[in-house]
Amino acid sequence: MLTTLRYTLAQLRGQILGWGLGIAALGLILVPFYDVFMEQQADFMQMLESYPPEFLAFFGGDAASMATPGGYLGMYGFSMLPVIVGIFAVIVGSGLLASDEESGRLDLIVAHPASRAALFWGRLAGFVVSTVAILILGWLGFSVLLGGSSLDVSWGEMALPFLPVLAQVLIYGTLALLCSMLLPARRLAAMVAGLVMVASYFLSSMVTLNESLAAVARFLPYHYFQGSEAMNGLNLGWFLGLMAASAVLALLAWWRFQRRDIRVGGEGGWRLPSLTRGLRRRAEAQ
Amino acid sequence: MSEHIVLMTQGLRKSYGKLRALRGVDLEVYRGEIFGFLGPNGAGKTTTIRCLLDLIRPDGGTARVLGMDPQADPVAVQARTGYLPGELALNDNLTAERQLRFFADMRGGKVNWAFVQQLAERLELDLKRPIKNLSKGNKQKVGVIQALMHRPELLMLDEPTSGLDPLMQQEVLGLLREAKAEGSTVFFSSHIMSEVETVAERVAIIRQGKIAEVAATASLVDRGLRHATVRFKEAVDSHILDRVPGVQVLSRDDGLNVLLQIEGEMDELIKVLGSFPVSYLDTARPSLEEVFLAYYEAGQDREEAH
């Protein structure tokens, strides 16, 4: 498993740097910009109040809360982070095994004496470590200029909103992984997981405008995204609940990977899992 | 399972949807032999090999590799086996050396790197070159090296010489003979009859997911149809040859030249020819390819009759 983890991290190192430094750059811009924002607060507030409420809801805030550090960071930074880093999660999660499988490489890899479990968990661990590394780089970018800013947020407080982001990203990544184990193609798996992610964001954001959407949104991950509010205290129930849901998705994907054929070109495509196939085989064996 | 049987399948079945790829494959491969697995594309060669390595799960039947059930203990089977897939795909972003080191690491580092370098030298493969810059043949060499590098007890090779030039094909076949000499068992699939005939002691012919024949290569060839040309010193009445069992006269030229087709042993024919003034006798040994095609044609005829 450690060998697989090492090679997965080596393969993802470019993505870790790219996504991590990108988020860090966002923080390096947002934090000093807060002082400018506060200096011209009246003008900004006037401008924000002129926006339609749907626009503000889309960015996860309202004009009144914008003047607070949490509201400012939430609206410009954290509200979108699950979707931004979620794109990384969906791409990597859907391709964690299916990418090598579609290219025909997995056949030879699985023929080596590392169990399927070791391969699966090694690669998943590589994905989790990469996500954490991206968020740590992002957190450093958001924190390094805090000393010279009037945000009045400590490094520790700034770390807290990254935990709900991590929970969101892991759930989209593991969902994409599970889809790649069930659906006939990696692209389809990425599309389904991406659709869930975007729908989750839209519906949950719009709940402030239309409360009837809450009935649907409560079944979607973003509904349980705390964002910058975590700086005032992390909602452990939501955080652990989402982490547990990710673990369940990962376990289902592993269960499926353990039992399925490794696909190579010309030998038939993946099939949707059949509940009756196992029973039929058992009956034939008897 | 007897200790000298390294690989065994009984009634192995596998379907992809409605396509029945394996319809009950029965095979036995003995320790220390080179065993050729013959069949055209789609006959079930690759599917059989992939079932034996737990890459795909059979729908029914039994498989044992080195005395173990590959589904129950795939890691133990894979640790003692070297595998070369028919459709080799490598990581284009790595050099040949990095790719081979990755495979070595996947085997827990239990690989003698000096042996890898020796294999690369023999196959004239530059390990420093990126995979993406390698030709199909050179990529195949990487595949051959990774299958051999840990000196496995059992080699399962799917079309091992695919994409190689004739010289390199001979080199790879030489490596297989050396592996056998060191005690390894070689099970390889191919549709190149000449190479199977050159190295394999026994062969199995698979046809539409079922084994059509398993035999020693030499006996399979001996059992095939031969052609013989007989030239007599003077014109003779050769119609007596029509009555020799297993002999069919294909052509006669003025009683001087006769072209025969012979099935089975030639003893009776030689005795009959002894009573004629023969000036020249030439027999052509059938190639395994001809034997193979005969099996396929016979099989198709039987199916059409049904």
Residues of chain A with pLDDT under 50: 266-269
CB contact under 8 A, A262 and B75: no
- Secondary structure of A172-241 in HEC code, one letter for each residue: HHHHHHHHHHHCCCHHHHHHHHHHHHHHHHHHHHHCCCCHHHHHHHCCCHHHHCCHHHHHHCCCHHHHHH
Q: What is the DSSP letter of B68?
A: B
pLDDT digits (tens, 9 = 90+) for A249-273: 999 999 999 988 888 754 444 555 5
What pLDDT was estimated at residue A237?
93
Kindly give the residue spans of alpha helices, DSSP state H, lying in B53-192. Answer: 74-79, 96-106, 113-122, 136-148, 166-181
CB contact under 8 A, A285 and B60: yes
Burial class (CB in 10 A: 0-12, 13-18, 19+), A149: middle
pLDDT at B54 over 50: yes
Min Cα distance A264 → chain B (Å) is 8
CA A264 – CA B241 distance, rounded (Å): 54
CB contact under 8 A, B59 and A284: yes
Please give the average per-residue pLDDT across B262-279, as a whole number: 85
| The two structure tokens encoding residue B278 | 């023969």
Q: Which of residues 92-111 of A touch B (CB under 8 A)?
A: 103-105, 107-111
Provide, as residue numbers in chain B, all residues whose Cβ is less than 8 Å from the Cβ of A112: 78, 103, 106-107
pLDDT digits (tens, 9 = 90+) for B173-228: 999 999 999 999 999 998 777 788 889 999 998 888 999 888 888 777 776 677 88
Q: Which residue has the higher pLDDT, B234 or A89?
A: A89
Question: Nearest-CA residue of chain B relative to A115?
Answer: B75
| Buried/exposed code over A245-277 (b: 16+ C-beta within 10 A; e: otherwise) | bbeebbebbbebbeebbbbbeebbebeeeeeee
Question: Nearest-CA residue of chain A relative to B157?
Answer: A108
Residues of B with CB under 8 A from a CB of A: 16-17, 19, 21, 46-47, 50, 53-57, 59-60, 74-76, 78-79, 81, 83, 85, 87-91, 102-103, 105-108, 143, 146
Q: What is the DSSP letter of A76?
A: I
Of B280, B163, B288, B271, the closest CA to residue B233 belongs to: B280
Provide, as residue numbers in chain B, all residues whose Cβ is less than 8 Å from the Cβ of A107: 50, 55, 85, 87, 89
| The two structure tokens encoding residue B65 | 């590799």
Spatial contact of A130 and A9, defined as CB atoms under 8 Å apart = yes
Provide, as residue numbers in chain B, all residues whose Cβ is less than 8 Å from the Cβ of A258: none
Whether chain B has a CB inside 8 Å of the CB on A264: the answer is yes
What pLDDT was estimated at residue B56?
92
pLDDT digits (tens, 9 = 90+) for B98-137: 999 999 999 987 889 999 999 999 999 999 999 999 999 9
Q: Which CATH architecture has domain B5-219?
A: 3-Layer(aba) Sandwich (3.40)
pLDDT at B263 over 60: yes
Out of B46, B89, B108, the one facing A105 most closely (by C-beta) is B89
| Max CA separation in chain A (angstroms) | 80
Strand order in the sheet with B247-253: B247-253, B257-263, B225-232, B278-284
Q: How many CB atoms lie within 10 A of CB B291?
A: 24
Please state, in angstroms and as integers, the Cα–Cα distance from residue B30 to each residue in A38, B155, B206, following that order.
82, 12, 18
CA B134 vs. chain centroid, Å, equals 27
pLDDT digits (tens, 9 = 90+) for B20-53: 889 999 999 999 999 999 888 888 899 999 999 9
Please give the average per-residue pLDDT across B140-168, as a whole number: 93
Band (B305; pLDDT cuts 50, 70, 90)? low
Relative to beta strand B210-216, strand B202-207 is: antiparallel
Report helix, strand or coil for A135: helix
Q: Tell me the count of A-B CB pairs closer than 8 A.
A: 78
Provide, as residue numbers in chain B, all residues whose Cβ is less than 8 Å from the Cβ of A259: 57
ipTM reported for the complex, 2 dp:
0.78
Provide, as residue numbers in chain B, all residues whose Cβ is less than 8 Å from the Cβ of A113: 75-76, 78-79, 106-108
Q: Which of residues 200-259 of A touch B (CB under 8 A)?
A: 259
Q: Which fold has domain B225-285?
A: Alpha-Beta Plaits (3.30.70)
Out of B59, B85, B102, the one facing A107 most closely (by C-beta) is B85
| The two structure tokens encoding residue A227 | 């964002």
Residue to test with chain B: of A261, A262, A277, A284, most B Cβ within 10 A = A261
Spatial contact of B160 and B144, defined as CB atoms under 8 Å apart = yes
